[in-house]
Amino acid sequence: MFTAGAKVPEVDIAELAPGNVEAGEHWFWAGGCASCHADKDAKGDDKLKLGGGLKLESPFGTFVAPNISQSDDGIGGWSLNDFASAMVHGTAPGGGNYYPSFPYTSYTRMKLQDVADLFAFMKTLPEVSGNSEPHDLAFPFNIRRGVGVWKVLFMDANPVIAGPVGLDVDTALWHRGRYLVEGAGHCGECHTPRNFLGAPLLWQWLAGAPSFEGGGKVPDITPAGLEGWSVQDIAYYFETGFTPDYDSVGGSMVAVQENLAKLAPEDREAIAVYLKAIPSVPE
């Protein structure tokens, strides 16, 4: 049922072809890039100004989203290969390791062509000057060399869930949903609990996790947590922000829902189909 265990395969990114801008915009919104890297109060087109600065509190300290705009303070000097290496390997242009607060542990499941398309779209976005504050991490988590060991132990490019369970579903649609959820959408980064080293507990995939935003819990979005929600209810929530009980989206999910609303209807349906046909986790 679960496919975890095999680690990140060697991916040849040396001969990547240029991406498609229009296709890349889809992956920009699916990946929620603006949610972390735009100013937290940004509206409309300002969400495309990716100067960073969002602070992400965690048990290990505070991570700060960097500038990923097209300025020299961001990724303006990066090549496509630099970008792909960061996305699928978590490796910086100089060879250092990024902290997994950057969700490359999910992005590593993306197809290289989709990564190239995303880069093509990002090359069209505005330059924003200025560097974000540095991360503020406690010892020993402030030692980046340890991240390389972490990646060997926990980074996995294989799908988390092997196939649909519990429902007679459109298999192609389910697999599309899996690709969106487990890859670009990186839903597991928030909805899956973690061990003491910050690695996701894949046997509790999407079963809910502690929230770092003022306490509380990020909800269970397995079939158990979505009991009473139909596929159509979930897809409608992604599109409009309204629940079946006519409540509305809140908290950090607001930005996620706004991103999902920009996807094609069939992609929102695919995500919903996937979520309704994965294993629930016993309490």
- Give Rg (Cα) of the chain: 18
Task: Name the residue with tokens 């880069």.
Answer: 119
Measured in degrees and rounded to the nearest 5, phi and psi for residue 131 equal -100, 145
Domain boundaries, the chain: 21-154, 171-275
- Return the pLDDT at 215: 66
- Return the pLDDT at 213: 66
- Do the Cβ atoms of 256 and 235 come closer than 8 Å? no
Distances (CA, A) of 133 to 46, 66, 136, 216: 20, 8, 9, 27
Distance (Å, whole) CA 19 – CA 115: 8
> pTM for this one?
0.91
Q: Is 136 helix (H, G, I), strand (E, B) or coil?
A: strand
- Return the pLDDT at 8: 45
Residue 203, judged by CB atoms within 10 A of its CB (0-12, 13-18, 19+), counts as: middle
Distances (CA, A) of 5 to 9, 168, 177, 192, 217: 12, 27, 21, 17, 27
Distance (Å, whole) CA 100 – CA 208: 19
Distance (Å, whole) CA 246 – CA 45: 29
Distance (Å, whole) CA 173 – CA 36: 28
- What is the separation, in whole angstroms, between the first and last Cα of the chain? 19
Amino acid code (one letter) for 21: V
pLDDT tens-place values along the chain, 283 residues long: 444 444 444 456 666 788 999 999 999 999 999 989 987 666 777 889 999 988 888 888 888 899 999 999 999 999 999 999 999 999 999 899 999 999 999 999 999 999 999 999 999 999 999 888 888 887 777 778 788 999 999 999 999 999 998 778 899 999 999 999 999 999 999 999 999 989 999 999 999 998 876 667 899 999 999 999 999 999 999 999 999 888 888 887 888 999 999 999 999 999 999 999 999 987 6
- Do the Cβ atoms of 223 and 208 come closer than 8 Å? no
Strand partners for 4: 6
Q: Residues near 158 by Cβ (< 8 Å), separated by ≥ 6?
A: 3, 4, 5, 6, 109
Distance (Å, whole) CA 84 – CA 35: 20
Using left for φ > 0, alpha for ψ between -120 and 50, and beta otherwise, residue 35 falls in alpha
pLDDT tens per residue, range 184-217: 999 999 999 999 989 999 999 999 998 876 667 8
